[in-house]
Amino acid sequence: MIKYKILSFVLLLFLVSCTSQKKKSGEDAGDATIVKKFELVEVWKTDTLFRVPECVIYDKDNDVVYVSNMNDNPREKDGNGFISRLSTSGEILDLEWVADMSSPKGLGIYEGKLYVSDVDEVIVIDISKGEIAERIVIEGAKMINDISIDSQGNLYVSDSDNNNIFLISNGMVRNWLSEGLNAPNGVLVDGERLLLASMGSEDFAAIDLATKELTVLTEAISKGDGIARVNIPGHFLVTDWFGQVFMIYPDGSKVILLDTREAEIGAADIDFIPEKNLLLVPTFAKHHVVAYKLVEKED
């Protein structure tokens, strides 16, 4: 009996020891399970002509980048916002390519249309014509922020001030999710889930598109903003709009690849161009866009 008790005690200690060594979701990377390490190397930055650039998106068909310019207050219907066109080498092609909007933020592209979130409506731009084709008003919205579009053309739109995610499908708007959200910002459709970066809960989460179940993947990302998938399966870049860029690994661990907070350079809604291995970062009040190469660090 005494031997049995001693053996049981030893086994218990072993199990406790193993459990204590498991990585929690969101813990900083650095153990032996993380094989690859990365860094961001600046390639170019634009002139400071943009007016509070909030979001960038790459148009592969036209090999051009669109930049949303809030131009001051993110919530006012002041009519002074606009979209710019930028080359992938950093040349501003058209500063005010399309105007007549207020505070454009998140951007999405689907079948020749550029979708723009603007306070309480989604503005649809015909890319080939360079003009506004439609305005989709979202009743009850306070400050819609980011947009992501699935393969069927369904739009998921975050409302940061109203703790909502709206779904626009076949021109119809409905409140898709309003529970368990705290200042939702960046959204990205990823297969059967919607990835979400939040400013209020300061985390990075995944929402099952079928069940709407929310799972926190990573915590402590401060004011979560942009999300971009990179050309490495299961890896994502997430920004804190104060100026941090995190690499999120498949196990939920993270590392900081960029931190410009001390210089007061923001990091808003990013995009990553896999074909060019290029990360584009709009900088808010510094009025420019900065491009970085994602480089694997040598040991």
DSSP string, 187-219: EEEETTEEEEEESSS-EEEEEETTT--EEEEEE
**Mind listing the pLDDT tens digit for each residue in 205-218?**
999 999 999 999 99
Q: How far apart are CA 288 and CA 299, in angstroms?
A: 33
In a domain, 15, yes or no: no
Distance (Å) of CA 233 to CA 9, 228, 249: 42, 12, 9
pLDDT computed for residue 299 by the predictor: 64
In a domain, 232, yes or no: yes
In a domain, 7, yes or no: no
pLDDT computed for residue 1 by the predictor: 42
Evaluate whether 250 touches 234 at the Cβ level (below 8 Å): yes
**Mind listing the pLDDT tens digit for each residue in 273-295?**
999 999 999 999 999 999 999 99
Looking at the predicted structure, is the pLDDT value of residue 132 above 90? yes
pLDDT computed for residue 72 by the predictor: 85
In a domain, 245, yes or no: yes
Q: DSSP character for 182?
A: S
Question: What CATH number should be reported for the domain holding residue 143?
Answer: 2.120.10.30
Looking at the predicted structure, is the pLDDT value of residue 226 above 70? yes
Q: How many CB atoms lie within 10 A of CB 67?
A: 27
**Mind listing the pLDDT tens digit for each residue in 78-120?**
999 999 999 999 999 999 999 999 999 999 999 999 999 999 9
Evaluate whether 219 touches 203 at the Cβ level (below 8 Å): yes
pLDDT computed for residue 168 by the predictor: 98
Q: Which domain holds residue 271?
A: 27-296
Evaluate whether 212 touches 205 at the Cβ level (below 8 Å): no
Question: 111: helix, coil or strand?
Answer: coil
Is the alpha carbon torsion for 212, 217, 221, 224 positive or negative?
negative
In a domain, 51, yes or no: yes
Q: How far apart are CA 252 and CA 18, in angstroms?
A: 19
Phi, psi of 5 (to 5 degrees): -65, -40
The pLDDT of 191-204, averaged and rounded, is 97
In a domain, 5, yes or no: no
In a domain, 1, yes or no: no
Looking at the predicted structure, is the pLDDT value of residue 24 above 70? no
Percent of the chain with pLDDT over 70: 88
pLDDT computed for residue 30 by the predictor: 43
Q: Residue 173: what residue type?
A: V
Going by C-alpha positions, the residue among 222, 257, 227 that lies closest to residue 241 is 222
Looking at the predicted structure, is the pLDDT value of residue 25 above 80? no
Per-residue confidence at 33, pLDDT binned at 50, 70, 90?
Answer: very low
Q: How far apart are CA 131 and CA 101, in angstroms?
A: 12
Please state the domain count of the chain. Answer: 1
Evaluate whether 226 touches 243 at the Cβ level (below 8 Å): no
In a domain, 263, yes or no: yes
Evaluate whether 135 touches 121 at the Cβ level (below 8 Å): yes
